[in-house]
Structure 1
Amino acid sequence: MKYLHRALLSAVVCVVFPGCSQIAGLQKAQEVTDPVTQRPIPVLQAYDDTELAPAPDAQSPYPQQFSRSTLLDLLTAEIAGQRGQVDMLLQNYLKVARETRDIGVIRRALNAAQYIKDDAAMTEMTLLWTEVEPDNVDAHQLAAFQLIKQKQYPEALSHMEQVLELEGPTTFDRLAVHAKNLTDEEKKELLNLYKKILERHPENGELMYGYAVLQEINGMEEAALASTDPLLKTSPDNPAVIALRARLLKSVKGVDVSLAYLKKQYAKHPDEVQVGALYARTQIEAHNFDAAQSIYKELMNRFPNTPHLKLSYALVSLENQHIQEARKHLEELVKQGQHLNEAHFYLARIADQEDRVEDAIQHYQNVTRGGHYFNALARSAYLLIRSGRQSEAEAAFTEARENLPSQASQLWELQINLMLELDDLDAALKFSNQAVEEYPEDLQLLYARAMLKDRMGLLQGMEDDLRHIIALDPDNAVALNALGYTLADRTERTQEAYNLINKALELDPGNPAILDSMGWVLFRLGKSGEAVGFLQEAYSKFPDPEVASHLGEVLWSLGRQDDAKNIWREALNTKPDHQLLNETLKRLNVDL
């Protein structure tokens, strides 16, 4: 047993750390790729037991050899890994990496940290790697990436600049492009950092491009446009630079100037798909759909094995009402197994418009994911119900929830809204009850059911759901306002209603719906003079017929009949059949 223990120790160390020169008789089997450096690492599969022996207790002067306690830590880590205890594996490797600063251990710790997505450990080990191997490009690249993820931009750019000085590949351009998701303050900070680095490396194309992108993201379009001038001198044929220039020309000088520039670039670079596709998309933005279709057709013929061009051509053909042309290319995409969800969705739309219901249903049901999935599911269910196949529609929603459990609550909402669209309130309430039973603390589902109960005249049920929401989320301004308005409008509990609406207004003071509610409850409390200001502000922000109805009635009560009539006439012009507005005019016996 003791001999076996020695063998296991040595085998672990050599498999983990290639190049264990103190062990003889090792044979290289094959090569695998290190996930950190993407470089080949030999895998060792055979060894001579007679050569196996533990390292001495004292720390060896050679980095490949470890003390007995260190080897035991490594062995414990590997056994933990075999048992699926990756956290323990990582912790042991972190400990040894800190103690020994051995590059093999550091990389092993990085692999484990990557596997369990431990960003803190990843960052620590990448920074340690840069200390141990300060001239390693991969180390600085990974350190920069980790620091960017943690929004430590000055530190990240320091490592990126180190990569630059080591003449390795940098990612200044990609970092700048992804900066659009940052806060305004972070965008400004990054812009200033790029400016400083660009001053030290003025000829670096990635930096120049990244700086121009950051100027654009910071709303400095004119300055960004000027920054593309030197870029075009050094990289005149770079599609990304051309695209940036075209985008900035559109922002600063208008779409026609951008189109003129893209026309020249497209003629100059007919084999650059990115330039041609951008030219076509810009034509679409300018509502030049015929021109866009022509460009996409040229691109599609030039690059017949590029499916996204075929899809774009089909969609712009559809926009131009060239239905047969669109159908032909969408069907080709289906046969090729390319862009299946988009192709099936638009083939469904075509069949739907042509009243080929069964074909439409089939195509909609072949949309299994992507941005069109919810619309396809809802429309196929609608057509099934209209065809008398209610059970099939319900089964489709059930299957969708089983396939997408993380989106089950949204799928319940979709099904409920479909029933409302079909004016089947009983079915909508049935599905609402099932949804809330499954997700009793889902605020969206509770609110949807509350509004449905309100529509069905189930006042107490509505109040129960809204109070449940408020119990779960006491600062939910939407629920506070909805309950307050309902109490003000349909009960005599006006003071209670005022308290609810007042709290909602404190939480969301500029919300026009809450301003309308406050004006209405003040009117119901007999405070028309105070009410009118809230209602006028609400109407200026949201000129909705319901708000107009309230504002007009308050003005009418104050003797300002002409003002009230003007408000009502304006609202009726936008929505002459609005139920509440017409009921108000009838109740007040107003003839406009």
Structure 2
Amino acid sequence: KALVCDPQAVYVSRKLAVLLVNMGKKEQAIVQLENMIADDPANLQNRLLLGNIYSSMGQRDQARAVYEAVLQIAPDDPQTLLMLGALYASDRDYLQAQKILERLVAVDDKSYAGYSYLAKLYRELNYYDKAMEAYEKALTLSWSPMLAYEAADLYEYRQKYDEAIAIYKRLLEEDEANTKIRGRLARLYIVQGKIEEALAELNELKNYTSDTAVVDLAIGRVLLDEKRYAEAIALFELMLSQDENKDVARSMLALTYYEFGDKDKAMKILHEVPVTSKDYENSILMLAQILLGEKDNQRAATLLRNVIAGEDTRRPSFYFLLAGLLREEGDPAAGREIFEQAEKAFPENPRVFFEYGLYLDRLGELDGAVAKMEQVLAITPDDAHALNYVGYTWADKGINLEKALEYIKQAVDLKPDDGFVRDSLGWVYFKMGRYGEAVTELEAAASMQPDDPTIQEHLGDAYQKAGELKKAVEAYGKAVSLYDDDVKKAHALVELKALQNSDKQD
């Protein structure tokens, strides 16, 4: 009615478009806005609303075209830059998103949204220093507990513990009952060796959680690590006296006695664990490890053979330990036989096939190992480690490269922060001759796992093929310094010296 009285009432027309959106009539809203834009091409608000509607409908190309048209009129419009940058980021076009968002904060250095988006984007791109700087800028502009937690998590990941602790403390001032943050703070104190501070936080945590047994267990582990055996024993015995805590306390009490030097007491406690206990499996493994530690391999093997003989007493892990023991004693065929028994006992358990694959890998039987990993994937297609193993093995052998790339990309999607999986992606690109992409992924892998020599050697190979010879020399040098294996060290050293000699001749 208002438009009948005044057809030129822009405010009313826009309100009508918003109303149509709220009623679910987005197509009619689009028609309404397109007519308004035709009448007034310079009105940016109408264009932005149209772009937002397209974006909400999943019509991303149309939304992008609208936002870019706005920037033709107003190149520095902050809202449009934000929406376009966010759209590129959601489409995983990270480099274009970075370009747009950096342009946004250059235009408006008070844009909280711009810096927060950039922080997340930089982290995704493994530009960790830039990400931390962006988080700091955003939090200075506007404190947000959610964003602060993200920043603290990144600081923790980059081992900037003091900065992470400062944020966690502030978050606890605002929400003292947040058990997740208090637990992370205690863990960081442990990492820093601030044991009393860690114990204080853990004891405080008990005031805010109903599962105090888990916290007591963590306290006991700290005491055990610090060799404060009397305190640990007192705590675990107290837990053992409470029926609901028996399962979690018994094995830790046994371990404490064992480390304290009372092996007989430890074994007596472990032998008392009933097969119905949640801690039964762990108790058998601990018993076997104690015997192995005492060089009593025969008794350990007998124990494991006895428990896998019973249908109610067998567990997959018992087979794995026994097979490994037999292999170390020089009888890999007997170990293989144990895995065959495990497959029959647990035919639907993917871990059995995975561990069998690793066993065959240690024997140098790579084809057999890949076959076992493919059996894992037949049961659990999204097993990142199996995908990575198969993909990397194929890439290393230079076969099935397209399929290897498919597998490893799946693994990266499942484990984006795993440096070893990222190394596999770089390596398959290297084997495909896509050296630029190989360098990008291997640099990311090296930033995640800076002390892994294989990743450094792979990075050296990629730099060399990409023509970045100085960087290749540096990477090979790191690999040589990090390798413990003499054969691998010698191989990296050959590559390093070849490049150095080539540089001298040039």
TM-score normalized by structure 2? Answer: 0.48
Query: Which of the pair is proportionally richer in helix?
Result: 2
The TM-score, its normalising length taken from structure 1, stands at 0.42
State which structure, 1 or 2, has the greater radius of gyration over its C-alpha atoms. Answer: 1
